[in-house]
Structure formats: C-alpha cells, structure tokens
Amino acid sequence: MKICVLDPFSGISGDMTVGALIDAGADWQALFDGLNSLGAGARYRVEKTKRRGISATKFHVEYEETKKHRHLPHILKMIDAGALPAAVKENAAKVFTRLGEAEAETHGVPLEKVHFHEVGAADSISDIVGACLGFHLLGIERIHTTAINTGSGTVETEHGTLPVPAPATARLLIGWPTYARGPETELTTPTGAAIAVTLAATFGAAPAMIVRTTGFGAGSKDFPQNANVLRVLIGETSTAAEATVISVIEANIDDSNPQVLGYAMDRLLELGALDVTLQPVLMKKQRAAALVRVLARPEDQERLIAALFAETSTLGVRTHTAERRVQERRHVEVVTPHGKVRIKVSGEGGWAPEYEDCARLARQSGLPLKQILAEAGYAYQKSIS
C-alpha cells in the first residue's frame, strides 16, 4: 500500500501541503490543469526556494482581491463542476464540509449560512482541491500525520485578534496530538488542519514504512530559528500485516487487592486495550507490587488511562510509544467430536486453536480443556495433511 506521512513539525497550511506534494513528484502541470477547471479566477505557479537551508517548493496562488463571500453550497458546486477525478471531488468536498462545520460551530450559525472569508477565498479553494489532487496524482492510498505543531501567540483575522490556534483550528484538532514550539505565530491554519484531520486515516508517530521519496513544502515566512516547511514522506507499508505505533501505559501498584487488579484487567480489555499484563515487581523498601502494562491504540490512550485511574488505586501512570509488528493472520474452522473450533494460522504457517472456542466446548461437554485443545489440533493437522 502506498502511503504518505504528513510531518507538520513547523505546522501545516494548504499551500505548504500542495508544495510538498509537488516537491515529492506530483505532476504540477496536471495539477494546474485540474485547478484551472474550477473557474476560481486564480493563477498558479511554483517556485523552488529554501527555508533554513532546506530546499523546498513554494506553491503560489495569485488572484484579484475581492470582498465577495462564498457559501459552502457554492464551493461544492464549483468542485463538482471541475474536470477532476471522482475521488478528488469527493475528498475535497469532505475537507470543505469539515472546515465549514468547524466555522459554523465557532460562530454559532447554521452550516449553510457560514461566510467563508479567508478559507473560502480562491487561494484556499485552490489549496484544498490542489492537495486532494496531489495525493491522487501520487497514487496515495493512505495518509498518516504525526503530531501537529500549532504555533502560539495570536493571529490577526477579519474577526480581530485571536489566539493561536485559531478557534476553528482548535475545533478541528480536537482528539489529535498537537504541541506548540517555535515562533509565536500561527503555524497551522484552519485549511491545513482540515486537510490533515479529514484525509489522514491514522495519526501519531510515523508508522513502519519503506520511504521512496520525500518532499518539502515551503511556508510564506522564513523564520530565523526553524525551517518553515511541511515534510511529506512517500513510500509503502512494510511487509508485516500490521506495523503500527502503539501507546504503552504502565503503573506500579502496591496497595491493591489482586481481585481488583484482575477486574481492572478485564475492563481494560473490554474497553479496547490491545493487551494487558500484570507482572510482579519489587518496589522500594522491598514492597511487593504489580506492574500493570497496557498496550493501546494512540486514539484510545486517554480513555484507557481514565479507566486505569477509576478501577485501581494508582495515582500516576507512565506512557510511551512503541512499534507493534504483527504477522498476517487468518482463521480456519475445524470440526471436533464436540463442536467447531477456529484455528488461528499465521502467515508463516504457525497455528493455534482459539482459546475461547475450546473453553466453551470444554464447559459444554464437561471435558478437560487440554483434551479439547488436543482434539482441535488433531483436526487441523488432519485437514492439512
């Protein structure tokens, strides 16, 4: 699968995204042809430049200033009328709708009444459609984004001086990993945030991949302390069926009933933990304790931490990220004298009966679990011999 990792270490905007994709190899002439079909009244050009010594591509949109406002239905009609692939139209519409919803919530008006000021101008229409078309031209099948640097301080808008991230940007980034570092200015715009959160399938530390090319999209400003660029990494997923970044949550607990810990373990698994382990450890002053370790998807981290606090006596947890590699797996169903059992088979041929199936048959039949496991193993080996 061909993937693109957005790395907004200096923020993300629409023009930075388009510039980075062109820098990574997207056909700029095909991209311009698609944008010209929108009839937005804009002209486009690309420029090779540098930001703190890093060669990058700057995407320029030139148009006549106007105070005319556009509403979402008008913008969606423009996109639909363009000579663009269906997938590009669909993604661009999704991004604009997501952006419109954030603006509507921010200003307390219905979605159809939102006036697209900065975000509805010709440059932002070109940025969003250009980004969607750039991903399409590169054949990207999945998009991932790392933590987003929002910037800090304030920004001047048509609504006056607003804090960074701007209200619409902050709404768009709810639930996504963000931080603020570098100059006190807006690094992530509403348009950039909308592109990232709408199109990215996953977020967090970069996934395991084979990088084939990189691209850098230049921002308008050239900061003295850091390179104002958006980096994209283009490549393929690794051969592992699952190669992802996970969150590891840990806590040392020395004052809890073992039954409470057992129940907490079950609850964490019910709430979506990938795995939960309890390990006996010896703490300071030779106090016997249990190390609770939870493996979680990044998007589940805060929910599972809350559950760990609620179900145990711990007053603190540790978190860090790790890579998880899992072989390709499939299930084969076999018939034993006492019922059906699923066999988990790995890509390299290893296999094991599903415990839950065997435990259910053991309870129903009154036979020892080890006998059901043996019967399931014999049935599978017989089926492949």
Lowest mean pLDDT among 24-33, 82-91, 207-216: 207-216
Q: What integer pLDDT is reported at residue 128 of this predicted model?
A: 96
Pick the closest to residue 214 from 189, 231, 236, 197 (CA basis): 231
Last residue of a domain, one of 237, 258, 281: 237
Q: What integer pLDDT is reported at residue 104 of this predicted model?
A: 87
3-state secondary structure of 348: coil
Same domain, 154 and 253: no
Question: pLDDT class for 122, splitting at 50, 70, 90?
Answer: confident
- Please determine, for residue 115, whether its predicted confidence score (pLDDT) is greater than 70: no
Residue by residue, DSSP assigns 270-317 as HTT-SEEEEEEEE-GGG-EEEEEEEEE-GGGHHHHHHHHHHHS--S--
> What count of residues does the chain have?
385
Enclosing H/E stretch for 88: helix 86-107
- CATH number at 280 reads 3.30.70.1380
Same domain, 251 and 146: no
In the DSSP assignment, the letter for residue 38 is T
Mean pLDDT for all residues in the chain: 91
Domain that holds residue 364: 329-384
Same domain, 82 and 153: yes
Long-range contact list for 354-362, CB < 8 A, 24+ apart? 361/336
Burial of 41 per CB tally in 10 Å (0-12, 13-18, 19+): exposed
Last residue of a domain, one of 280, 299, 326: 326
Q: What are φ and ψ of residue 132, in 5° steps?
A: -60, -40
Same domain, 154 and 263: no
Same domain, 336 and 252: no
Domain count, the chain: 3
Q: What integer pLDDT is reported at residue 109 of this predicted model?
A: 83
Tokens describing residue 276: 């939960």
For residues 143 and 351, give the distance between their C-alpha atoms in angstroms, rounded to a whole number: 33
Same domain, 219 and 361: no
For residues 197 and 327, give the distance between their C-alpha atoms in angstroms, rounded to a whole number: 29
Same domain, 268 and 134: no
Q: What integer pLDDT is reported at residue 238 of this predicted model?
A: 66
- Please determine, for residue 243, whether its predicted confidence score (pLDDT) is greater than 60: no
Lowest mean pLDDT among 89-98, 103-112, 255-264, 340-349: 103-112
Same domain, 157 and 24: yes
3-state secondary structure of 354: coil
Same domain, 72 and 11: yes
Same domain, 176 and 246: no
Burial of 73 per CB tally in 10 Å (0-12, 13-18, 19+): exposed
The reply to whether the predicted model has a pTM over 0.75 is: no
pLDDT tens-digit map of 75-85: 899 999 999 99
**How far is residue 148 from each of residues 8, 171, 174, 175, 293, measured CA to CA in Å?**
5, 14, 12, 12, 27
Question: pLDDT class for 72, splitting at 50, 70, 90?
Answer: confident
For residues 233 and 177, give the distance between their C-alpha atoms in angstroms, rounded to a whole number: 19
Last residue of a domain, one of 237, 252, 280: 237
Question: What contacts 280, CB < 8 A, 6 or more positions away?
Answer: 288, 289, 290, 291
Same domain, 112 and 193: yes
Same domain, 79 and 216: yes
